Chains A and B, each alone.
Chain A
Amino acid sequence: MSILSKEEAQALLKKVLSYSKADECEVNLNGSDAGNIRYARNSVSTSGGISQNTLVVSSAFGKKLGVATINEFDDESLKKVVQRAEETAMLAPENPEFVSFLGPQTYPASPTFVQSTANMGPKERADAVAASLQISKDNKLNAAGFLENNTSYAAMMNSKGLFAYNTSTGVSFNVTLRTEDGKGSGYATKSYNDFSKLDVKGATASAATKAASSASARALEPGKYTVILEPAAALVLLENLFFGMDGRQADEGRSFMSKPGGLTKLGEKLVDERVNIYSDPFHPELPTSTWSGDGRPQEKINWIENGVMKNLFYSRYWAQKKGIKATPAPDAVIMAGTDQSLEDLIKGTEKGILVTRLWYIRSVDPQTVLLTGLTRDGTFYIENGEIKFPVKNFRFNESPIIMLNNLEALGKPERTVSGESNTNALIPPMKIRDFTFSSLSDAV
């Protein structure tokens, strides 16, 4: 039982609920059928197929809640997991933050499932990787990469009558090409719902160009530079901003959105007015599920509009306590941009540094969202609108809030995926002034 149809999921969830003796019961079910192939040193290394299903039962007696999960689906196991959740609930003290499960909701469909991706098998994956390896060998480079596709479904049902179901497909590809002497490295990453949109050869060729042209990098002094961040580099910084947009954290005084006196910065302009960030589960380039894990509908939401912080996400408990709408956290975000290409941004730059990828991003200070990390796999010096030479990698210490205040220009958004969290987003390349590089790295 890998991918259950809506009807099969509904029948299974009904059966699980029928075993419940709790005041309230909610059951989440998800499963996936995934295949992957990994390669390195111009040869396939590990690969495989993973089929899995998981059932999560949440049982409540009054405000006492217990949760249990299982991945066996015979009747005895289903009874066992319900019983385990109920016994856990009975042993737990009352949780004053427990909010009764949601009643029935209406969810429009989102185009997250694409048959061509679901049809992928070992041969399609091996063929795609063979094409990537050929480009590497033709260019006398060393390739390491990863191609993964998955078909998944998620369903939930509760004793209040709520039922939700969604299927989704995804394919992601990323590759690093290195020169034989180890002095140059280039990277590309792509992710789609639809396999037919994935251009493995194009992505590999782009990484190959960067690898060859990044060899023998020169050292520049650390300091403040104008940078052009490619979408994959921008996302790993911006996602830390989104992760910190929890309303309760802001109200409690422990996030960058908090202000003295127990107030928040909601409604204030925090970044450049050209910054517009929203989520939209129906966006054709980045469709996501139309319901969140606790059954709340996902809608189009503006998070930052013309630089103003417009919305935060809330748990149902905190929203109820504050008497506001319980907006769930989005599954993916979209940042508006312009029609300018990456090349246009480079052409318009007198002096600056082009950053392909940022790596090992960690929070240094949550109060200012100060982050640290390093450039990687293709960092270049730009002068008079042209890439002049590769530069050695830098460590940076920078906050996305400060960065979005130092915005110079935005390019055309493209779908990319975070190398840190695997989160997908539509993000433009962006040009930022006074980006702080604090030290040099010898890493290639």
Chain B
Amino acid sequence: MGAGAFMLPGLSVLGNSIDPLQALDGMDVGLKKALADVALNAARSKGASYADIRIGRYLNQFVATRENRVQGVANTESFGVGIRVIADGCWGFASSNNVEKENIAKLAERAVAVAKANAKIQGEPVKLAPQKGYGEVSWKSPIERNAFEVPVKEKVDLLLNTNAIAMQGGASFVNSVIFAVNEQKYFASTDGSYIDQDIHRIYPNFTVTKIDRSSGKFDTIRSLSTPMGMGYEYLEPKESSKVKGIVTRYKDRYDILEDVKAATANVDEKMKAKSVEPGKYDMVLDPSHLWLTIHESVGHPTELDRVLGYEANYAGTSFLSLERLNSKKFNFGNKLVNVVADKTQKGSLGAVGYDDEGVACKKWDIVKDGILVNFQATRDQAHMIGLNESQGCSYAQSWQDVQFQRMPNISLQPGKEKLSVDDMIKNVEKGIYIIGDGSFSIDQQRYNFQFGGQMFYEIKEGKIVGMLKDVAYQSNTQEFWNACGAVCDESDYRLGGAFNDGKGQPSQSNAVSHGSSTTRFNGVNVINTARKI
């Protein structure tokens, strides 16, 4: 019997007018514990020295529209179990969507068989950092309104209103989406932890497209929303969450109707904008843009698995090394640059109570006053950087994938001195102010990068003089972070992030946020991306 049958006791088979997802309650915790014990006992009896099990139920909801119509409403559910073991000093893993007791025991056996087959070609045996068992504990995203309980009609109406504003404003096309995620995951291990977690994420967004039929040119602007570890309350606007300026930007509440109106006007201006003159500029980067630069140039190179070479075949390695960390004097950036890793930050995508190998989440420094001071590690990596405990960075995108080291929220700390965006711009002679993220690319060791954006404003002698287009900047990570000229204070601090950070083979997605305040970088190389075909 599938576990889903336990979950919908009151739902009429004949169908009724309620959204069926409103009635979705998680699987009974007692049942999950019983199934987990079957797996852990079976693994141990087959020779595993360690085992963990994740019973996961993953719900997604997509509501997608364009112009005046709904393109699709989809509810997806995935339920299954993944079992990871250490046998003969080697990892083994097996997963299945069959969560029956008998199958779970066989699955544990299969994971042990995989570990034993691979142990013959294993180098050093796996060494886990000690981890106490927490007993039976739980954690839930601190949401105010469960997006899955909000009627589909409310979402459709909001998106169609968004689209109507764009079309009335002269957009040629508009697409809008609300994407909601709920991860219900249960973790148990032979260390004595039984952890039940209920994690929520949401991402509303739109793209406005403008086409000049006579010239054949087109351009787009995307929403300034970001995926958040929140419920539907993210879509309930709040004045105190707005950051006013040349374009309004948003903290932990998003006003989609206001943003689409601005985007529709801005895409017109963007099409008429001056094509950028290549050269050196001071870059003023809004958090809606800078999050991605932080992600690629700070988040990825400080992942310990990359530093050690575990990602050499796919995501790449890192320009950082254990030697550079241990030197305690590697200038990642200048003294203005302080970066923290934080799996506890409220509203962020990476916030959970415990990671996917049962480690309670925490916060730690990565770059302190410009110096590299730490990496991101899991239980089997902690000893490699002299730690006695894991930093809680283990994650798997679903029950069917093996957990491994994934990026926590990595954020640039706000400037310690009071500084507004307006005051920052006043001090720029020749610069470009970028709002929103665009094209992004970085090499496999995270030295050379190129970023675009959504909106580019030219700054001349301390003033914004108009929009630019065809802008991308290129730099080298260490040079860039050492060219940091100023960081705005905490009143400007916001999160940006993505659902789909890819790493690993088979590739898995991780959801992660990056916070910052608006930051200036001096003398960055800007190229012009216009071409003719």
Binding site for B on A (CB under 8 A): 1, 21, 34-54, 65-74, 76-77, 79-81, 83-93, 95-97, 122-123, 125-126, 129-130, 133, 142, 144-146, 148, 174-176, 178, 182, 185, 187, 252-254, 256, 258-262, 270, 359-365, 367-370, 372-374, 376, 393, 395, 397, 399, 401-402, 419, 422, 438-444
One of B73-81, B178-186, B256-264, B511-519 at the interface: B73-81
Query: Roughly how many angstroms separate A260 CA and B117 CA in the complex, as a whole number?
Result: 61
- Chain B residues with CB under 8 A of A97: 69, 71
CB distance from A207 to the nearest CB of B (A): 10
Question: With A439-B474, A442-B476 in contact, is A69–B310 under 8 Å at CB?
Answer: no
* B94, A48: Cβ atoms closer than 8 Å: yes
Known interface pairs A360-B444, A419-B314; 11 further A-B residue pairs with C-beta atoms within 8 A, sorted by A's residue number: A50-B95, A66-B74, A71-B80, A72-B4, A77-B4, A91-B153, A126-B120, A178-B312, A365-B529, A372-B439, A441-B447
Question: With A84-B20, A133-B121, A148-B505 in contact, is A374–B95 under 8 Å at CB?
Answer: no
User: Quick check: is B34 within 8 A (CB to CB) of the other chain?
Assistant: no
* A122, B2: Cβ atoms closer than 8 Å: no
- Chain B residues with CB under 8 A of A262: 213
User: Quick check: is B96 within 8 A (CB to CB) of the other chain?
Assistant: yes
CB distance from B249 to the nearest CB of A (A): 24
Question: With A41-B123, A441-B448 in contact, is A256–B533 under 8 Å at CB?
Answer: yes
- Chain B residues with CB under 8 A of A254: 172-173, 209, 211, 218
Among A40, A80, A399, A440, which residue has its beta carbon within 8 angstroms of that of B311? A40
* B452, A364: Cβ atoms closer than 8 Å: yes
User: Quick check: is B289 within 8 A (CB to CB) of the other chain?
Assistant: no
* A51, B97: Cβ atoms closer than 8 Å: yes
Q: Which residue among B18, B111, B308, B450 has the maximum number of chain A CB atoms within 10 Å of its CB?
A: B450
* A395, B474: Cβ atoms closer than 8 Å: yes
Among B78, B122, B218, B447, which residue has its beta carbon within 8 angstroms of that of A54? B78
- Chain B residues with CB under 8 A of A71: 77-80, 97
Please name 5 pairs of A and B residues whose Cβ atoms are closer than 8 Å in the assembled complex, sorted by A. Answer: A51-B96, A72-B3, A87-B20, A368-B532, A443-B445
User: Quick check: is B486 within 8 A (CB to CB) of the other chain?
Assistant: no
CB distance from A381 to the nearest CB of B (A): 19
What string of 1s and 0s marks CB contacts (under 8 Å) between B21-40 and chain A?
A: 10000000000000000000
* A122, B117: Cβ atoms closer than 8 Å: yes
Query: Roughly how many angstroms separate A207 CA and B96 CA in the complex, as a whole number?
Result: 35
- Chain B residues with CB under 8 A of A270: 533
Query: Roughly how many angstroms separate A393 CA and B111 CA in the complex, as a whole number?
Result: 40
* A443, B448: Cβ atoms closer than 8 Å: yes
- Chain B residues with CB under 8 A of A122: 113-114, 117-118
* B2, A176: Cβ atoms closer than 8 Å: no
Query: Roughly how many angstroms separate A74 CA and B114 CA in the complex, as a whole number?
Result: 29
User: Quick check: is B214 within 8 A (CB to CB) of the other chain?
Assistant: yes
User: Quick check: is B90 within 8 A (CB to CB) of the other chain?
Assistant: yes
Which residues in window 454-510 of B have CB below 8 A to A?
Answer: 470, 472, 474, 476, 505-507
- Chain B residues with CB under 8 A of A81: 77
Question: With A66-B73, A67-B74, A126-B118 in contact, is A440–B448 under 8 Å at CB?
Answer: yes
User: Quick check: is B350 within 8 A (CB to CB) of the other chain?
Assistant: no
- Chain A residues with CB under 8 A of B310: 40-41, 45, 144
- Chain A residues with CB under 8 A of B217: 367
* A365, B530: Cβ atoms closer than 8 Å: yes
* A72, B79: Cβ atoms closer than 8 Å: yes
One of B7-15, B46-54, B336-344, B366-374 at the interface: B7-15
* A146, B505: Cβ atoms closer than 8 Å: yes
* A40, B79: Cβ atoms closer than 8 Å: no
Which residues in window 77-99 of B have CB below 8 A to A?
Answer: 77-80, 90-98
- Chain A residues with CB under 8 A of B114: 35, 47-49, 122
User: Quick check: is B313 within 8 A (CB to CB) of the other chain?
Assistant: yes
User: Quick check: is B309 within 8 A (CB to CB) of the other chain?
Assistant: yes
* A53, B439: Cβ atoms closer than 8 Å: no
* B216, A50: Cβ atoms closer than 8 Å: no
Query: Roughly how many angstroms separate A169 CA and B312 CA in the complex, as a whole number?
Result: 27
Among B71, B77, B317, B443, which residue has its beta carbon within 8 angstroms of that of A393? B443
User: Quick check: is B400 within 8 A (CB to CB) of the other chain?
Assistant: yes
* B218, A253: Cβ atoms closer than 8 Å: yes
User: Quick check: is B527 within 8 A (CB to CB) of the other chain?
Assistant: yes
* B439, A362: Cβ atoms closer than 8 Å: yes
CB distance from B97 to the nearest CB of A (A): 4
